[in-house]
């Protein structure tokens, strides 16, 4: 679809307001035109007639017009803000949902801060184009057009001059468009890059401090800022050139029209009384066009950002399931089995496969541990079960059904995952737990927290469950965060539980506590425990060893130890 048409369609839902704003713009132009007529008439009275009768009334009328126009301008601004607010919040919501659908892999492929820039500044910068330029387009077309026609029928030669001025005013920006567009796209990109750099530096602040690298990073950021400065100067130069030509065309058009008018009066072709009218109308004719060009320049950043926004919206969701059923089916009563059948998978950017022909069945209620060196493909198993990606060969079955047959929501609803890193949102401990189950009662929160061995430390926080995380120096240790994450998983109460290195960066005491919590948790669930530290998995029913993207061994702890292969080596390496 045409880019500009797509931009216009962003106003969907606020068309009525946009039409209202256009009508206001026309009224404002009409007020200017009425004033031009009134002033011309006053001058005719002063210079061409003997009496000044009626001059007072005219002056009063002009004064009234000025007041009314001020009022209209004020309304116009309010309308613009309202349209902008509705449009921006709708678009942000749409973008956010789409990014959610695209999932973590997409977000990781973007540099940190890049997506934020699009969501905040990018959407913000659309405002001039959508709320000022588009309505003004009609105002200029109708307003300037009608005035030009009126002048034309007063005197066709002057009409021709005015029309030429209009053509230059309208076409020059179009001719310059591609150049200006490219320069301003560079400007937007450097802006987004600078933004991303700062976010990156802020997130890595402790690392910069530790390596004494803040100075160097500062110099790097300054360099980036200078680049941005140069891009903005280029942008300024080109838009100034553009608008100078356009202003010149407007002024010259009005001046030539006046000159030609004077000549036509002298030649006796045009009545003197009409000269004043033409004089003032010619100026008014170019006013809406000048405004239009001004808004066009303000729109460039938004046009660049718009391309980026559409690029995100056009990115196809990598995996999609059938649409969720209108009525959500209850989870099955019996525990599901999970089965990998000949699964092979390679990441888009990966040079070699991450999983090769993996077949593995986890029976209902069974706890299977997956071990293996880092990079052997353990987390990839989790990414595939959650359908962040689909395998290139083979299939995964949940409860006997291919997971691609489940609506994504239903699939993910049945699986609770605890990752190595826990993200805690800004908010209270209770808010963070309720992510798993928004309508959980205080008693349910406490039960989950007790099971996860988290209740104890939560009660020691200043406000217990109502403590704001991250405020007033409330910092949680890795182990505490991990136990909150477990409590979340418990609250979700899904039949399948996946732990991906959940205890890897946790101290010994915490690990013991988590271990205890896990015993209760895995009892009634189909569980996959991925672990680096082998002490965490001895309660598992079965251990699967991944190596070099393939399953190399499977069995009970003692069997594998006795076999003396990879598992035995891993155990030996960890126990010195």
The binding site for ligand ADP (CB under 6 A) comprises 105, 347, 349-350, 354, 372, 374-380
Residue 432: which of Mg ion, ligand ADP, none does it interact with, CB under 5 to 8 A by kind? none
What b/e readout covers 144-159, taking b as 16+ CB neighbours within 10 angstroms? beebbebbeebbeebb
Rounded least distance, CB 531 to ligand ADP, Å? 11
From ligand ADP, Mg ion, none, which one binds at residue 322 (CB under 5 to 8 Å depending on kind)?
none
Contact partner at residue 235 from ligand ADP, Mg ion, none, CB < 5 to 8 Å by partner kind: none
Least Å distance, CB 374 to Mg ion, is 7
Which range touches Mg ion (CB under 5 A), out of 188-196, 282-290, 311-319, 379-387?
379-387
Distance CA 87, CA 108 (A): 28
Min dist CB 164 to ligand ADP, Å, is: 59
DSSP H/E element including 496: strand 496-500
Q: Which stretch binds Mg ion (CB under 5 A): 257-265, 371-379, 474-482, 543-551?
A: 371-379
Q: Which of 363, 505 has the CB closer to Mg ion?
A: 505
79 contacts 136 by C-beta, under 8 angstroms: no
The distance of closest approach from Cβ of residue 138 to ligand ADP in the complex, given in angstroms and rounded to an integer, is 48
Q: How buried is 488 (Cβ within 10 angstroms: 0-12 exposed, 13-18 middle, 19+ buried)?
A: buried
Least spacing, CB of residue 512 vs Mg ion, in Å:
23
The encoded tokens of residue 339 equal 């089965």
Nearer to ligand ADP, 352 or 575 (CB): 352
Q: How far is the CB of 517 from Mg ion (least distance, A)?
A: 21
Q: What are phi and psi of 362, to 5 degrees?
A: -110, 115
Alpha-carbon gap, residue 554 to 366, rounded angstroms: 14
Residue 542: which of 558, 566, 563 has the closest Cα?
A: 558
CA distances from 17 to 33, 76, 86, 88 (A): 24, 11, 10, 14
Of residues 122 and 377, the one with the C-beta less far from ligand ADP:
377
Judged by beta carbon, residue 283 or residue 355, the one nearer ligand ADP is 355
Return the number of the residue (5 or 316) whose C-beta is nearest ligand ADP: 316
Quick one: which of 379, 437, 504, 535 contacts Mg ion (CB under 5 A)? 379
Q: Which is nearer to ligand ADP, 274 or 500 (CB)?
A: 500
- Please state at what angle helix 508-522 crosses helix 442-451, rounded to 10 degrees: 110
Residues in the interface with Mg ion (CB under 5 A) total 1
Looking at the Cβ atoms of 12 and 374, the one nearer to ligand ADP is 374
Nearer to ligand ADP, 336 or 377 (CB): 377
The CB-nearest residue to Mg ion is: 379
Stretch that binds Mg ion, among 212-220, 335-343, 375-383, 437-445 (CB under 5 A): 375-383
Phi and psi (nearest 5°) for 494? -90, 150
Please report the beta strands in 101-177, taking only residues with DSSP state E, as ranges in sequence order.
none
- Least separation, in Å, of the C-beta of 400 and Mg ion? 28
Interacting partner of 347 out of ligand ADP, Mg ion, none (Cβ under 5 to 8 A depending on kind):
ligand ADP
Q: How far apart are CA 279 and CA 277, in angstroms?
A: 5
- Phi and psi, residue 109, nearest 5°: -75, -20
For the CB of residue 11, give the shortest distance to ligand ADP in the complex, in Å.
37
| Full 3-state SS string of 171-182 | HHHHHHHHHHHH
Cα torsion 570, 572, 574, 576: sign: negative
Cβ proximity to ligand ADP: between 192 and 546 the closer is 546
Cβ pair 433, 488 in contact under 8 A: yes
Choose the contact partner of 57 out of Mg ion, ligand ADP, none; CB within 5 to 8 A by kind.
none
HSE-up of residue 361 (Cα within 13 Å, Cβ side): 5
Shortest separation between residue 381's beta carbon and Mg ion, angstroms: 9
Which spans of this chain sit near Mg ion (rule: CB under 5 A)?
Answer: 379
């Amino acid at each position: 679809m045409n880019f500009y048409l797509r931009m216009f369609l962003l106003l969907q839902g606020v068309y009525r307001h946009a039409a209202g704003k256009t009508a206001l713009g026309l009224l404002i132009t009409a007020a200017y035109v009425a004033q031009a007529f009134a002033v011309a008439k006053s001058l005719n009275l002063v210079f061409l007639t003997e009496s000044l009768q009626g001059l007072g009334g005219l002056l009063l009328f002009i004064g009234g017009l000025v007041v009314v126009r001020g009022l209209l301008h004020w309304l116009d601004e309010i309308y613009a803000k309202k349209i902008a607010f509705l449009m921006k919040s709708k678009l942000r919501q749409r973008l956010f949902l789409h990014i959610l659908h695209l999932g973590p892999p997409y977000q990781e492929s973007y540099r940190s801060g890049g997506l934020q820039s699009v969501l905040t500044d990018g959407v913000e910068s659309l405002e001039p184009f959508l709320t000022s330029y588009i309505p003004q387009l009609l105002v200029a077309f109708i307003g300037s057009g009608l005035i030009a026609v009126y002048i034309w029928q007063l005197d066709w030669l002057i009409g021709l001059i005015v029309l030429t001025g209009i053509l230059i005013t309208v076409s020059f920006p179009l001719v310059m468009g591609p150049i200006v567009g490219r320069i301003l796209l560079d400007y937007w990109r450097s802006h987004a890059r600078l933004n991303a750099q700062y976010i990156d530096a802020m997130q890595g602040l402790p690392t910069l401090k530790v390596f004494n690298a803040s100075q160097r990073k500062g110099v790097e950021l300054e360099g980036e800022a200078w680049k941005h400065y140069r891009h903005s100067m280029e942008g300024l130069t080109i838009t100034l050139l553009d608008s100078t030509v356009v202003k010149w065309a407007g002024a010259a058009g009005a001046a030539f029209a006046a000159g030609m008018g004077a000549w036509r009066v002298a030649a006796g072709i045009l009545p003197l009384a009409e000269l004043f009218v033409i004089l003032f109308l010619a100026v008014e004719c170019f006013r809406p066009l000048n405004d239009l060009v001004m808004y066009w320049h303000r729109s460039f950043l938004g046009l660049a950002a718009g391309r980026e926004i559409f690029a995100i919206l056009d990115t196809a969701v990598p995996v999609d399931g059938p649409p969720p059923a209108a009525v959500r089916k209850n989870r099955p009563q019996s525990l599901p089995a999970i089965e990998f059948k000949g699964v092979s998978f390679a990441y888009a950017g990966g040079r070699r496969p991450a999983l090769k022909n993996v077949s593995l069945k986890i029976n209902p209620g069974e706890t299977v541990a997956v071990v293996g060196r880092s990079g052997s493909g353990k987390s990839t198993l989790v990414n595939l079960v959650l359908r962040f990606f689909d395998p290139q060969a083979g299939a995964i079955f949940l409860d006997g059904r291919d997971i691609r047959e489940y609506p994504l929501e239903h699939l993910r609803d049945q699986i609770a995952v605890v990752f190595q890193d826990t993200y805690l949102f800004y908010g209270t401990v209770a808010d963070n737990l309720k992510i798993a189950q928004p309508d959980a009662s205080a008693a349910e929160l406490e039960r989950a927290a007790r099971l996860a061995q988290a209740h104890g430390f939560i009660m020691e926080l200043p406000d217990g469950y109502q403590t704001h995380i991250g405020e007033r120096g409330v910092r949680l240790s890795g182990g505490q965060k991990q136990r909150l994450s477990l409590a979340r998983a418990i609250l979700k109460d899904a039949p399948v539980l996946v732990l991906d290195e959940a205890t890897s960066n946790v101290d010994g005491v915490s690990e013991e506590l988590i271990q205890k919590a896990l015993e209760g948790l895995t009892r009634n669930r189909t569980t996959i425990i991925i672990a680096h530290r082998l002490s965490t998995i001895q309660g598992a029913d079965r251990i699967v060893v991944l190596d070099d993207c393939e399953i190399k061994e499977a069995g009970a702890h003692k069997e594998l130890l006795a076999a003396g292969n990879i598992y035995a080596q891993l155990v030996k390496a960890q126990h010195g």
